[in-house]
Amino acid sequence: MKQIAKIIDKNTIEVYEKSQFNINAILQSGQVFRYSCGDNCVVFAGKNRAEIRQDAEKMTITCNDADYFWRYFDLDTDYEKIKENLSHFGFIKKILLDKSIGGIRILKGEFVEIVVSFIISANNNIKRIQKIIDRLCKLCGDIAVFPDLECLGKLSEKDFFDIGCGYRSPYLVSAVKQLKNLNYDALDKLSNEQLKKELLKIMGVGEKVCACIMLFGFHRLNAIPQDVWIKRALEQVGAKDASALLNHKYAGVAQQYIFYYTQHLKKKL
DNA sequence: GGCCAGGCGCGGA
DNA sequence: TCCGCGCATGGC
């Protein structure tokens, strides 16, 4: 496998394969809510921060912890192989003609942040989700740091209501209590079926949010979150292909391609 | 101004 | 087990 990236020092990673790393597409594919893009992009994960600069020949990630972001950006995985595999589906092959799509990667988010963020995401829109999460961070003291369980545990239903969580507020209070009794490393060892079963016990986590947590928090690449956008898209490709995709080992990756293509690029399958 | 959003929990069949 | 309903809020 071609080396796609290299750790330069404890604060710096260089990424060389543009075809496998498009920071704008990654951040705009709906898997992360705390980021901003101007000349450079900045992304936050837990208490960590990374800035990504794109030059002609390479991308440079400047961050507080290079090892952390190596894992976060999934830089051990060769996405060319995944793309090749998924290209057996005609409609995925067509999507990948848009080169930005091929630069999407599945991030490895912080467990608590992913769970809380995607409970908030239910029946909500992305702009509003981002604002609520920003207010949540501010409520616990630092706009650049996602609250830990200690701070989250102190928040009341009213606190969540007041920052716009709406009817999800009681779910969040319950979920935070449950999260205190869950151990990430133990969950990470479970099979897909067992993990799903455990995550579904969390208040506010149903089938779709569960799939998001599995995909973006546990890197289970076959987990496919089916929101209204994906369901609409899959109706267009026919039952046979849709069924095959839903059971594919990289279904979650395909789902990210479709989500970005249909929603962000506003293109039809 | 009305429809919609990365849905979910709940009660009733 | 499987519907259908209600739900907070603001983006568009």
Q: What pLDDT digit, counting tens, does each position of A93-142 carry?
A: 999 999 999 999 999 999 999 999 999 999 999 999 999 999 999 999 99
Stretch A45-60: mean pLDDT, rounded? 96
Give the model's pLDDT for residue A232: 86
Q: Coil, strand, or helix at residue A250?
A: coil
A64 backbone dihedrals φ, ψ, rounded to 5°:
-85, -15
Stretch A3-13: mean pLDDT, rounded? 96
Higher pLDDT, A1 or A247: A247
CA of A175 to C1' of C5 (A): 23
Stretch A188-200: mean pLDDT, rounded? 98
CA of A35 to C1' of C7 (A): 29
Q: Which of residues 105-134 of A touch strand B (CB under 7 A)?
A: 118, 121-126, 128-129
Q: Decide: CB of A30 under 7 A of nucleic strand B.
A: yes
Radius of gyration, CA atoms only, chain A: 18
Residues facing A41 on adjacent strands: A37, A52
Q: Are A103 and A256 in contact (CB under 8 A)?
A: no
pLDDT above 80: residue A2: no
Residue pLDDT, tens place only, A148-181: 999 999 999 999 999 999 999 999 999 999 999 9
CA of A13 to C1' of C3 (A): 51
Stretch A206-222: mean pLDDT, rounded? 98
CA distance A101 to A25: 7
Contacts of A75 by beta carbon, 8 Å cutoff, 6+ apart = A4, A5, A13, A15
Q: Decide: CB of A158 under 7 A of nucleic strand C.
A: no
CA of A223 to C1' of B10 (A): 26
Give the model's pLDDT for residue A1: 60
pLDDT above 70: residue A214: yes
